Amino acid sequence: MDANQRKLHFHRVARVYDCTRDTDRSIINYLGGVFSKKTSPQHPVPDLATGTARYPLALASTFGIHFIGVDENASMLAVARRKAKKLKAALAIVQGDCLFLDGTLDAYRPFSFATMFNALHHFSNIPSIAYAIQSQLRPESGRCYFYTRVDNDNAETIWGKYFPGFVEREKHYLEESSFPRSRLMLELCQGGLAVQEWVRFVVLAEHTLDELLEKVRARHFSTFCAYTPDELEDALAVFSDRIQHAFPEARNDPSYRIPYSSPMTLVVCTPR
């Protein structure tokens, strides 16, 4: 998916994005503890490639943390603005390119913290985004938190286990289905960020089979855009059969909620 395709994809899914994604409360509670009482309107946390600002808004409304969300996509940011206004959350919005932050955030830098949720794989040049971020952080104490997938994380999701071709078509993570840990560390280092910690999280969710199928049809993961319409319908049929085999309760009870987990990894970095 190139830059234009990505822009069109997120323009199309902006209005349904939040209702098709599973939110991890454990990462919200974890970072809430890290950021609590350490931010203010003058010292916010920049959330880069913020999209609809799902996670910063949860952190802002739950813990009172101040955020400034940066993203290029106007459609996603329009959703973020509406939600922030409704929640009266401490979130400012800036439309801009995360690769060229100089001038965008000058009024607030240097930052003690920065975040990026579920977006690092959309940057094909990891050293470039790492350099853009490290130049905004406090040199001695700044920290950046990337919430992403490494190693076999994608293969262990319900999609990786049961959806045909998902792992093979998911190649956004340095041409792999999830970031190879050693290579990600090297490329972040080339951009001036040193990995200090890898923190494992597991997103727990439950959905009916119909809800899972609707997520795919809404293309809640950009991976599903790699299927032609006919390929997607064929894959959905196979996925449905596999789910009903793995969860027999779903065969006769359309209201049965299928439990599943999705591993994620928080990559904690500091400027080198």
Per-residue pLDDT of 214-239, as tens digits, reads 999 988 788 898 899 999 999 999 99
Pick the closest to residue 187 from 201, 173, 199, 168 (CA basis): 173
Q: Is residue 74 part of a domain?
A: yes
pTM over 0.75: yes
DSSP assignment of 136-162 = TB-TTT-EEEEEE-BTTTGGGSHHHHH
Q: Is residue 226 part of a domain?
A: no
Asked if residues 55 and 119 have their Cβ atoms less than 8 Å apart, the reply is: no
Q: Omega before 44 cis (within 30°)?
A: no
Q: Is residue 128 part of a domain?
A: yes
DSSP assignment of 7-34 = HHHHHHHTTTHHHHS---HHHHHHHHHH
Q: Is residue 159 part of a domain?
A: no
Residues 35-55 as b/e (b if ≥16 CB within 10 A, e otherwise) read beeebeeeebbbbbbbbbbbb
Q: Is residue 253 part of a domain?
A: no
Domain count, the chain: 1
CATH number at residue 142: 3.40.50.150
pLDDT greater than 90 at residue 116: yes
Q: Is residue 149 part of a domain?
A: yes
Q: Is residue 144 part of a domain?
A: yes
Asked if residues 136 and 168 have their Cβ atoms less than 8 Å apart, the reply is: no
Q: Give 190's Cβ-side CA count (13 Å radius).
A: 11
Q: 250: which residues sit within 8 A by CB, 6+ positions away?
A: 208, 209, 243, 244, 256, 258
Q: What is the pLDDT of residue 6?
A: 61
Q: What is the mean pLDDT of the chain?
A: 92
Residue type, position 93, single letter: I
Pick the closest to residue 72 from 43, 88, 51 (CA basis): 51
Q: Which pLDDT tens digit goes with each residue over 118-177?
A: 999 999 999 999 999 999 999 999 999 999 999 999 999 999 999 999 999 988 888 888
Cα 59 to Cα 190: distance, rounded to the nearest angstrom: 30
Q: 200: which residues sit within 8 A by CB, 6+ positions away?
A: 263, 264, 265, 266
Domain carrying residue 92: 3-153+176-204+263-271
Q: How many CB atoms lie within 10 A of CB 134?
A: 21
* Max Cα distance, the chain (Å): 59
